[in-house]
Amino acid sequence: MTYLDLSYNQLSGVVPLSLANLTMLRQVVLSSNMLHGNLSMIARQSKGLRILSFSENSFSGNIPAELGNLLELQVLEFSTNSFSGRLPESIGNLTNLIHFDASHNELTGTIFSGIGSLVKLKTLDLSFNSFIGPLPADIGKLVSILSLWLGPNGFTGSIPAEVGNLEQLEIFSIPSCKLTGKIPMEISKLKNLTNLDISDNNFEGEFPPGIGELTRLNYFVASHAGLTGNIPGELGNLKNLMILDLSFNHFYGPLPDSFSALESINSFLVDDNHLYGPIPSWMSNWSMARFISLEKNNFSGTLPSLKLHYLTSFTADANCLSGEIPTDICEAESLSHLSLAFNEFTGSIQETFRGCSNLTDLILNSNNFFGLIPGYLGELPLVTLELSHNYFSGLLPAQLLQSKTIVEIYLCNNHLSGRLPGSNGRSTHLRRLQLDNNYFEGVIPSSIGKLSNLTNLSLNGNKLSGDIPLDIFNCTSLVELDLGSNRLTGSIPKAISQLKFLVDLVLSNNQISGQIPDEICVGFQKAQHPDSEFSQHYGVLDLSYNNLEGRIPQSIKNCVAVKELRLQGNRLDGTIPPELNDLINLSVLDLSINSLSGTLLSALFSIRNLQGLILSNNHLEGPIPDNFGMLMPSLVKLNLSSNQLTGTLPESIFCIKSLTHLDTSHNFLFGSISVLTDTGEGISSLLIFNASNNFFTGSIPESISNLSSLSVLDLHNNNFSGSLPSSLSSMNSLTYLDVSNNNLQDAVPCKICSIVGLSFMNLAGNKFDNFTPESCKFTQACLGNYNISKPLAGYPSVRALDRALVWGIALVVVILSVLVFFSVQKWRQSQKKLALNPHNKAKSSAIEPASSEELLSKRLKEPVSINIATFEHALFRITLADIMKATNDFSKSHVIGDGGFGTVYKASLSKGIMVAIKRLNRGSHFQGDREFLAEMETIGKVKHKDLVPLLGYCVFGEERVLIYEYMENGSLEQWLRKQADAAQSLCWSVRLKICLGAARGLSFLHHGFVPHIIHRDMKSSNILLDQYFEPRVADFGLARIISACETHVTTDLAGTFGYIPPEYGLTMKATTMGDVYSFGVVLLELLTGRTPTGQEEEKGGGNLVEWVRWMESCGKVDEVFDPSLEANGLWRDQMVCSLRVAKMCTIDEPAKRPTMIEVVKLFKEIQIMDGSI
């Protein structure tokens, strides 16, 4: 026997040693099975072999050195296995080798030294391994080579100049190889090149001269390559180019006019560079262009005419473009996606898009468009319409709410007015309607209840009046309802009980009266988000600043999904109900500015996840419980000010390690503050400490300097005595200091005014010795009245008050409380005006009740600063105010995700760059700073087109903030739950693209990066989609930064139910094979449209994997697939093959599952079935 082909038979087990007895074999093909074992014997016995292929199996260990004895071997393939170690030097003996494929393994070390002896080699594929070291110069001796695939790998150094000797080379692929230095000019000698990929490297400098001589190129990808300078005009000589990707580099200057000759161009990407100048009119010569992306540059001028018949997508977001959109834009008759957001376009669009018959996505937000919104937009096949942050005026066209295709409408922050139009119920696909911050008035139309599939309705910041219409509760799919900052009256209808999926309700800043109904918690009883397709945030119940009265109902305990409960600024009375302790998910509780009474002790707060507790401006009395800090160990902000609390400040409060804001001012607290021990244990994160206007005594301890992060210290109007601690001089973060009107004496430490950031200091009303402002070298930042011989005017010394005077002041406080109440009413009205006119925000902030935060916002010149690390630049400083501004103080309105590791906020940094900011949960047990920083540096170096890149990170006390690239289309989970419209947006071809891309990303983590990374929580919500539905795997590496986990699986990090592989329950150890299982579940979600767990899968044991197996055993394979998918011949074949892959990934035995590199290979073959690549 000379020929043996057993490929594609799903064979498993060990390759039998008896195979070595077939010594006459010339060809052995064992690929695409599940074989493993030792091939050394075959290599020793069958020395006449010419073809040996055992790719796509389960072989592992080292490559047998005996392969070097097969001197007649012409084809050697062992790709997509789990081989590790180095390539044996004996491979260099195979001088007859023509085709060598070792890709998709776990090979390490340097390339063997004898590579240059393989002079007959035509194909060499070493991609997707972990090779290190420099590329050997001997590669230049492979003079017959046609295809050279070397990336991704972990090489170092530069491309050797000897590569210029490979004059026959047609494909040169070196992406993600960590290569540095300049691209050698010898590359211009490769005249036969058709495909060149140098992306995701760290090159420097410009393209070498002569690059334009590669005239046969049709595929040129140089994204994320670190290149600078002007884009060379000689690239215009490459007239066969179909794909040119120069995105994410540092190119500057205009686009070369020579590009007008690129008449074969299909895809052109130069986004995220520093290009400027006009968008050239010669782009209209690109008759074959389908995809053009120019976003995130500095292009200016007007948009040229683009009469391109095949153009389907044009993106130019975040530039400096101006003028009007050309009236002939619709002559690009195939145009479906147009995105021009974050520019300076102006003019009306009254007739602009009338003829765009294929337009599905129109994204024009953050420009200067004005005039009416044309009604014909509702007659186009639009799925997404984004016109927010412009100057559109007039009425909202009724046609938009009657469109049969539209899914998302964003018209926030415009000048729209009049009454809201009614709906005729035809808009069955509409899911999200956001009309915030306009001038709509009148009542909310009852016909809005006909939008039966609406999940998100936001009308915040308008002039809407009247009662909340009962018909709105016919929208039973609502998960988010925001009617805040309007003029609504009446009570909260009991019909709210119909919104069983509601997880976000905002009715704040209205004139709603009555009591809080028991029925309000019907929709907040599921801690798990039931349908997350569009929801930005969930778990918010905000009824603040209304006229609600009565007690907080005991039924509040049923709102178990609530994370933020905001009831401040009402007329609520009675005691704080102990039922609040049942809200185990609660993170923020704000009951301030009410008439609540009773003691803190009776409330028995034990909400261990609570981060914000604001009870100020009530009538609470009695002591603060001694064990307060132990009851709520996760608190970040605690405000108990303006109550009638007595007793001492408990030591346990200073044991709350996460606490940053502490305000106990304006109470009747007494005693000393003696808990600030020399160790400073647990209090280093405190930023603001306000204990003013109490009756504290004793000295201010020297150990107060242990509050190393403290920015604001306000102890004025107390009875502190002794000297001002000299350790204050070492508190370099201090920006505000007020110790006025105490009994302090002796000398003032002069170094205190050398604190660079100190912007306000008040020492008046004390008895300091021989101290004047001239006695120290005060900086200009040291402001205030330094008259130390008598109290400041308007600040009587507390020590001079006798008991009678104290009671007199208490009486005045009661009178002032009445005045405060009416002031609050007036403040509410100003808030409504503010919502309608955002430009008045700065003015209105002065009206708010006094709080600790105002000390930062009003009186500080330079806010607290923290460090941010990025991976494209060195460390730079960014103020705390900048981060708070970007997220509006981590406002819920910026939240776009909330997962196991933390909350994700959408934010705009400098130059309008959109990023996703992940604030890690404070309750997590992080590594130490050094280990955390090292881990971040490692994760930050993980760069792959199918992974969401980490752009930067921030470490501040126990705060951990990560900055990621923003993904416009959210997560795969969100789209899979869209049901009806998923059929359009997630057709099978898109789902297949997601399968392959996500597999590539996970494969790179497992096999293409050193050290290898186990994801640990692979699921559909961790696959994000950019604006073109290209998938990116997210949250990789996060589990590594939690201390004591390593590969061990804890209850917090074991993954997500439905995705957890069965072996984790026994081994408690995370593995790459565990990731493969989880990925298989994602594949099943894509194929079936079902969730991983749920009642639908009851017949299969309650999970998706078992349900698919049960359906297959019943002969119902065709019923497994998502019914919304069209199953034509080719697509059905691909779906069936993909189902096989998913089943392989979810095999119970880990050893029988394929590796991710095998999965990638399988999906490439599936994609080829219809010739798509």
**C-alpha–C-alpha distance, residues 1075 and 1145, integer Å:** 9
Q: Which top CATH class is 972-1173?
A: mainly alpha
Over 80: is that where the pLDDT of 676 sits?
A: no
Over 70: is that where the pLDDT of 590 sits?
A: yes
Which carries the bigger pLDDT value, residue 953 or residue 744? 744
The yes-or-no answer on residue 542 being catalytic is no
pLDDT at 931: 55
- Let me know the angle formed at the C-alpha of 199 by 198 and 205, rounded to the nearest 5 degrees: 75
Residues 6+ apart with CB under 8 A from 845: 854, 857
Question: Hey, which bits of 165-323 come out as E strands?
Answer: 171-173, 195-197, 219-221, 228-230, 243-245, 250-253, 267-269, 274-278, 291-293, 298-301, 313-315, 320-323
Residue type, 508: S
pLDDT classification of 860: cutoffs 50, 70, 90: very low
Catalytic pick among 436, 714, 1017, 1075: 1017
Helix (H, G, I), strand (E, B) or coil at 588: strand
Q: Are 250 and 225 in contact (CB under 8 A)?
A: no
Q: 88: cis peptide before it, omega within 30°?
A: no
Residues 6+ apart with CB under 8 A from 12: 33, 34, 35, 58, 1152
Which carries the bigger pLDDT value, residue 949 or residue 853? 949
Over 60: is that where the pLDDT of 850 sits?
A: no
- Let me know the angle formed at the C-alpha of 933 by 927 and 939, rounded to the nearest 5 degrees: 100
Residue 918 marked as a ligand binder: yes
Over 90: is that where the pLDDT of 833 sits?
A: no
| 210-to-137, 189, 191, 192 alpha-carbon distances in Å | 21, 8, 10, 14
**Closest to 564 measured CA to CA, from 617, 616, 524, 620:** 524
Average pLDDT over residues 48-64: 91
pLDDT in tens, 1031-1065: 999 887 665 543 323 333 433 334 577 788 887 76
pLDDT at 205: 92
Over 90: is that where the pLDDT of 1170 sits?
A: no
Alpha helix ranges (H) inside 785-889:
803-836, 841-844, 852-859, 880-887
pLDDT in tens, 472-494: 999 999 999 999 999 999 999 99
Q: What is the residue whose two structure tokens read 């021009």?
A: 340
Distance from chain centroid for Cα 888: 16
Average pLDDT over residues 185-214: 94
pLDDT in tens, 918-971: 887 654 444 555 556 666 666 766 777 888 888 777 766 566 778 888 888 888
**C-alpha–C-alpha distance, residues 275 and 587, integer Å:** 45
Buried b (16+ CB within 10 A) or exposed e, 485-503: bbebeeebbebbbbbebbb
**C-alpha–C-alpha distance, residues 631 and 608, integer Å:** 6
**C-alpha–C-alpha distance, residues 349 and 323, integer Å:** 12
Q: What is the separation, in whole angstroms, between the first and last Cα of the chain? A: 37
Buried b (16+ CB within 10 A) or exposed e, 323-353: eebbeebbbbeebbbbbbbbbebbeebeebb
pLDDT at 728: 85
HSE value, Cβ hemisphere, 13 Å, CA-based, for 506: 22
pLDDT classification of 880: cutoffs 50, 70, 90: low
Calculate what percentage of the chain has a pLDDT beyond 90: 50
Q: Which two tokens stand for residue 1061?
A: 């592989």
Q: Under CATH, domain 863-966 is a member of which superfamily?
A: Phosphorylase Kinase; domain 1 (3.30.200.20)
Angle separating helix axes 1104-1113 and 1129-1145, nearest 10 degrees:
120
**C-alpha–C-alpha distance, residues 1079 and 1146, integer Å:** 8
pLDDT at 601: 67
- Let me know the angle formed at the C-alpha of 302 by 343 and 326, rounded to the nearest 5 degrees: 105
Residues 6+ apart with CB under 8 A from 209: 185, 188, 232, 234
Q: What percentage of the chain's residues is helix, strand, coil (to nearest 5)?
A: 30, 20, 50
pLDDT in tens, 347-363: 999 999 999 999 999 99
Intervals of CATH 3.30.200.20 along the chain: 863-966
Helix (H, G, I), strand (E, B) or coil at 692: coil
pLDDT in tens, 288-320: 999 999 999 999 999 998 889 999 999 999 999
Which carries the bigger pLDDT value, residue 465 or residue 606? 465
Calculate what percentage of the chain has a pLDDT beyond 70: 81
Q: Are 341 and 365 in contact (CB under 8 A)?
A: yes
Over 60: is that where the pLDDT of 619 sits?
A: yes
**C-alpha–C-alpha distance, residues 32 and 867, integer Å:** 50
**Closest to 162 measured CA to CA, from 182, 142, 181, 133:** 142
Measured from the Cβ of residue 777, the count of other Cβ atoms closer than 10 Å reads 10
Phi, psi of 794 (to 5 degrees): 85, -5
Which carries the bigger pLDDT value, residue 775 or residue 126? 126
pLDDT at 1024: 92
Helix (H, G, I), strand (E, B) or coil at 465: strand
pLDDT classification of 683: cutoffs 50, 70, 90: low
**Closest to 1081 measured CA to CA, from 1064, 1101, 1099, 1106:** 1106
Phi, psi of 818 (to 5 degrees): -65, -45
Computed over every residue of the chain, the mean pLDDT equals 82
Q: Which of 24-28, 257-261, 629-633, 1158-1162 has the lowest mean pLDDT?
A: 629-633
Question: Hey, which bits of 628-676 come out as E strands?
Answer: 637-639, 644-647, 661-663, 668-671
In CATH terms, 1-204 corresponds, of 3.30.450.20, 3.40.50.12780, 2.40.50.100, 3.80.10.10, to 3.80.10.10
Intervals of CATH 3.80.10.10 along the chain: 1-204
Average pLDDT over residues 522-531: 62
The most distant pair of C-alpha atoms in the chain lies apart, rounded to whole Å, by: 113
Q: Which of 572-586, 595-609, 610-624, 1053-1067 has the lowest mean pLDDT?
A: 1053-1067
pLDDT at 57: 92
Over 60: is that where the pLDDT of 337 sits?
A: yes
Average pLDDT over residues 157-174: 95
pLDDT in tens, 1105-1156: 989 988 888 888 888 988 888 766 678 888 989 999 999 999 988 888 998 8
pLDDT at 603: 62
pLDDT at 754: 75
Quick one: 715 exposed, middle or buried, by C-beta within 10 A (0-12, 13-18, 19+)? Answer: buried
**C-alpha–C-alpha distance, residues 384 and 226, integer Å:** 34
> If you average pLDDT over each of 589-593, 922-926, 1069-1073, which comes out highest?
589-593
Average pLDDT over residues 652-681: 80
Over 60: is that where the pLDDT of 1067 sits?
A: no
Residue 549: in which H helix or E strand, if any? Answer: strand 547-550
Intervals of CATH 1.10.510.10 along the chain: 972-1173
Q: Are 505 and 479 in contact (CB under 8 A)?
A: no
Residue 623: in which H helix or E strand, if any? Answer: strand 621-623
**Closest to 410 measured CA to CA, from 296, 503, 323, 536:** 536
Over 70: is that where the pLDDT of 183 sits?
A: yes
Q: 134: cis peptide before it, omega within 30°?
A: no
Q: Are strands 743-746 and 721-723 parallel, antiparallel or unpaired?
A: parallel
| 214-to-139, 151, 198, 199, 362 alpha-carbon distances in Å | 20, 21, 15, 17, 38
**Closest to 651 measured CA to CA, from 628, 635, 680:** 628
Q: Which two tokens stand for residue 42?
A: 């075959």
Over 80: is that where the pLDDT of 730 sits?
A: yes
Return the HEC string of 768-806. ECCCCHHHCCCCCCCCCCCCCCCCCCCCCCHHHCCHHHH
Residue type, 485: S
Which DSSP state fits 653? G
Q: Which of 46-60, 68-82, 94-108, 845-859 has the lowest mean pLDDT?
A: 845-859
**C-alpha–C-alpha distance, residues 288 and 1089, integer Å:** 35
Residue type, 1116: K
Average pLDDT over residues 702-728: 88
**C-alpha–C-alpha distance, residues 661 and 663, integer Å:** 7
pLDDT at 1026: 86
Which carries the bigger pLDDT value, residue 738 or residue 807? 738
**Closest to 1030 measured CA to CA, from 988, 963, 969, 973:** 969
